[in-house]
Amino acid sequence: MPGEPQIPFAQKLGFSGNSLATGFYCADPEPFQAIYEKRKTTTPSNKILYIGRYLDVKGVRELWEAFMELSDEFPEWELHCVGTGELWDSRAIHPKIIHHGFKQPHELESHLVDAACFVMPSKKEPWGVVLHEMAIAGLPLLASQQVGAASQFLEHGKNGASFDLSAIAEALQSFLRKDETRIQNESYASHQLGMKHTPAGWSHTLLSLIQA
């Protein structure tokens, strides 16, 4: 299974003990490790990053509304959104919200290298491998409590914050008040957490299951 949130379901199917293992469905670390190396010599910009579909279940409308609510207090900050979907035509139009549309994976580097943090405000997200990718890349993370991958790659107060969607504005406000040193420390912590799960590690786990 990907992580701890999936264990109760597996147990209901009759699996237990040594027949259970986590670490499946992990990110490919290589491209994001390269981005992390570049981020170590790059000063974070005043840029919050969202990557995902423009769907109601992704909580993107709540993100737009919260950011616009805080924009006057933090006029130097921008929200950059990468993706498309059924909410595209009704996307928030604001001078500090930049919509980039759909991007191929190889086109994301320029958005990741100087982003101050990554936000994932989903209303329902059983896992969300993109959170793992962003952790490896060294982005501080803001994720709703409905994001399954946050159980593995987000430690509240260490590399970002987990929040109830109804309190997304407060979570954003808290992050925007952090200084550069705190953001850089959270970047390092994210990378360390992200590298705990790799394809090589899962291969070892899978072989152990087979041998057992």
Q: Are 194 and 135 in contact (CB under 8 A)?
A: yes
Query: What CATH number labels 27-198?
Result: 3.40.50.2000
3-state SS, residue 144: strand
CA distance 67 to 78: 9
Average pLDDT over residues 63-69: 98
Q: Are 172 and 66 in contact (CB under 8 A)?
A: yes
Closest CA to 142 of 127, 161, 123, 158: 161
Average per-residue pLDDT in the chain?
95
Q: What's residue 18's pLDDT?
A: 77
Rounded percentage of the chain residues whose pLDDT exceeds 70: 100
* Residue 169 pLDDT grade (very low, low, confident, very high; cuts 50, 70, 90): very high
Q: What's residue 45's pLDDT?
A: 94
pLDDT tens digits, residue range 85-132? 999 999 999 999 999 999 999 999 999 999 999 999 999 999 999 999
- As to burial, measured by CB atoms within 10 angstroms (0-12 exposed, 13-18 middle, 19+ buried), residue 118 is buried
pTM of the entire predicted model: 0.94
Average pLDDT over residues 40-50: 95
